[in-house]
Amino acid sequence: MNNTHSIINSLLVDIFNEILNIEEYALQSGRFNDVSITEVHTVEAIGYYDSKSMSEVAKQLSITVGTLTIAINNLVKKGYVERVRSEEDRRVVKISLTKKGKLLYRIHEKFHLEMVKVTVTDLSEEEEAVLVHALQKLNVFCRNTYDLFNKESKE
């Protein structure tokens, strides 16, 4: 591995770990100390505005509906999520954020917006485009690798 690749590897590992550490610390020391980072990401997947079906959220999180059900039950008990029956078809249950859930969503979103803002400050449009391209390639690699591991575990 050449020096540039070594630096990139080190930065990616450090950034990933620091983001997780910051998010966990913020949760433990703040007013949302009753939720895990996994639950925050579930709140994020549900979204701020519209209610969603369990299958929509499970697909977005790449988990089963059964696994999501356990998380949603916990988030409902904690007051972050509510189940809403469809007016058109009472058999259909959607999930949406409560006022408390929306506050958590906005605080988490603010952290991410600040992180992006700091990252792109002082970058030219061309540098931003290169960064976006590199991150898209990394994202594709991660998704493909995850899908491969997921496929192998089912075989």
Segment 109-124, tens digit of pLDDT: 998 999 999 999 999 9
Q: Residue 146: pLDDT above 80?
A: no
Taking the domains of the chain in order of start, what are their residue ranges? 3-120, 122-155
Segment 43-86, tens digit of pLDDT: 999 999 989 999 899 999 988 999 999 999 999 999 999 998 88
| Right CATH for 3-120 from 1.10.10.10, 3.30.420.40, 1.20.120.790, 3.40.50.970 | 1.10.10.10
| pLDDT for the residue 100 | 96
| pLDDT for the residue 136 | 95
Measured CA to CA, the distance from residue 86 to residue 112 in angstroms comes to 32
Q: Residue 151: pLDDT above 70?
A: no
DSSP 88-104: S-TT-EEEEE-HHHHHH
Q: Residue 10: pLDDT above 80?
A: yes
Range 14-18 average pLDDT: 92
Q: Residue 102: pLDDT above 90?
A: yes
Measured CA to CA, the distance from residue 20 to residue 25 in angstroms comes to 8
Amino acid identity for residue 145 in this structure? T
